[in-house]
Amino acid sequence: LAFDPTLAAIRYGTGLSPYHAPAGRVDDILIDLIAPDAMDRLHPIPGYDTIVPSLAAMHRGNRLLREARETPHEPAALAHNREIRVAANTARVNGHLALMARSLDSRYGLRERLASFWADHFTVKSRAFIQNHLVTPYVEDAIRPHITGRFQDMLKAVVLHPMMLTYLEQWRSTGPMSVLGLRLKRGLNENLARELLELHLLGVDGSYSQRDVRELAELLTGLVYHSRRGFYYDDRMAEPGAEKVLGVTFSHEASLRNILDALEVLAMHPETAAHLARKMAVHFVSPDPDAAMIAAMTQAYLDTGGNLLAMTAAMLQAPGAWIEEKTKVRLPMEFVTTSLRALGMTGAQAKSMQPRHYRRWVRAPLQVMGQPLQRPIGPDGWSEDAEDWIIPQAMAGRISWAMGAPAALLSGLPDPRDFARTALGDHVTPAVEFAAGAAESRREGIGVVLASAAFQRR
């Protein structure tokens, strides 16, 4: 089992491209990862603090409309509010297109794949229309800067982010014995504490108990945000007294520092390391990844104090990373971008896509294929199982996209026989090669290549 450039592009990148040659060795990929984030510069995406319209502007639009109801100002307020909502929707679409553009223009694509892997690990969903355009900025703020850094830093950025505080309801959670808890008779919400232990850190089989969940929930009290101020720590909500989580007792003084210390400790728990390593290997390689590879990844994480570049490198350097059989399938979002990349679409072309094309050929098909934009069912994110994705409806969605989208989105389709080579490289199968040439039209030839199992697996 050895490094294979084509496999590297398919399994660890954003697919083959007529413009970007695959990496020649693992080190090329790692050097590219260490280098400054070129795609962030080429296709910038605003963060939570810079996005327009801001959450505060959305709130303000709603408030002005409420106040203006039944007054002569109502039509103006309504028009203003509609304008903000249209702007928010445009911002959301632009964020999505910029992400696609990065996958199209990226040299090897591993950074983009890691960003979506970790964004899925720390899934947030919008809870209301006014937040719909803020999911991408959350990833930009809390996830992307840390995918080759320390896991602890990503964890802290996530836990203090308004989107996570809202999604898992931490901002409501009030220590029952805190100042506000006693005054307002409010109590704990364990949602974030539970998901941290179960999904984000130790994993569902981890050695924590309900008591640990409860203590962690008490420890996390005080994390809130305001639409204008952003995140802040409110000690009037913080539960007093020392909390003991997984056998470690944290300071008697409730404080933000204390919460951050706890996250550091939990991140370096050996079960967290093993859980993260396995999850990453399952995401990239196989539902049943090589044990030696997982062990090496776990060890790299622990040895480097939670360095995610080290864990990623350990995966790529393990022989188990290069098994030939492709048992994973491209998720619908990956399928769409890898297809367009193989067809030679550039990031600039993607970003100038007409809104109706975006709706017809990106947004709607993703839903039919089972991956509605930023709407996984729960906080555990998208399924890793090929069987959940390749079901009749989703397959019909993939096939009809493959048959229709290329001609609609690109001018001038390549010869299907050449395209089979571009899209699959030396992994092209005789069946795909034959089918590409046997199709009745260019459109269907391209469609059959894209719809093939060979192209959809990674």
Partner 1 sequence: MTMDRRHFLTSGAALGCSLAASPLLTPVAFAQAPTDNRLIVIILRGGMDGLDVFRPVGDPNYAALRPGLNAGNHLDLGGFWGLNPTLDPLMPLWRAGEFGAVHAVSTHYRNRRSHFDGQDILEAGVLNIDGGAGGWLNRLLTTLPGASAETAYAIGREQMAILAGQAAAQRWSPDAQLDISPQARRLLELVHHDDPLFRDASAQAIAIAEQLSMDAASEADDDTDMMATMMAPITARGGHVDLAEFAANRLRGETRIASFSINGWDTHQNQHQGLRGALRQLSDTILTLRAGLGPIWARTAVLCMTEFGRTAAENGTRGTDHGTGGAMIYAGGAMRGGQVAGRWPGLARSDLFNRRDLMPTADVRAISGWVMHDLLGTPRDVIENTVFPGLELGDNPRLIL
Residues that bind partner 1 (CB under 8 A): 69-70, 74, 125, 127-128, 191, 194-195, 364, 367-368, 370, 372, 375, 377-378, 386-387, 390-397, 399-400, 403, 429-432, 434-435, 437-440, 444, 447-449, 451-454, 456-457
69 or 183: whose CB is closer to partner 1?
A: 69
- Minimum Å gap between C-beta 357 and partner 1 is 16
320 or 370: whose CB is closer to partner 1?
A: 370
| Single-letter code of the amino acid located at 254 | A
- Minimum Å gap between C-beta 445 and partner 1 is 8
Nearest to 237 by CA among 252, 249, 255, 264: 255
Give every CB contact of residue 256 below 8 A, 6+ residues apart in sequence.
Answer: 222, 223, 233
Cα gap 147→153, rounded to integer Å: 10
Cα gap 339→423, rounded to integer Å: 8
26 or 78: whose CB is closer to partner 1?
A: 78
Evaluate whether 239 touches 177 at the Cβ level (below 8 Å): yes
- Minimum Å gap between C-beta 103 and partner 1 is 23
392, with CB counted inside 10 A (0-12, 13-18, 19+), is exposed
46 or 203: whose CB is closer to partner 1?
A: 203
- Minimum Å gap between C-beta 434 and partner 1 is 5
108 or 225: whose CB is closer to partner 1?
A: 225
- Minimum Å gap between C-beta 453 and partner 1 is 4
148 or 456: whose CB is closer to partner 1?
A: 456
Cα gap 83→85, rounded to integer Å: 5
- Minimum Å gap between C-beta 141 and partner 1 is 23
- Minimum Å gap between C-beta 18 and partner 1 is 21
151 or 382: whose CB is closer to partner 1?
A: 382
78 or 309: whose CB is closer to partner 1?
A: 78
Beta bridge partner(s), residue 226: 230
Number of neighbours of residue 365 by Cβ within 10 angstroms: 21
54-77 as b/e: b if 16+ CB within 10 A: bbebbebbbebbeebeeeeeeeeb
Cα gap 181→438, rounded to integer Å: 71
Give every CB contact of residue 448 below 8 A, 6+ residues apart in sequence.
Answer: 402, 416, 432, 435, 436, 439
- Minimum Å gap between C-beta 161 and partner 1 is 19
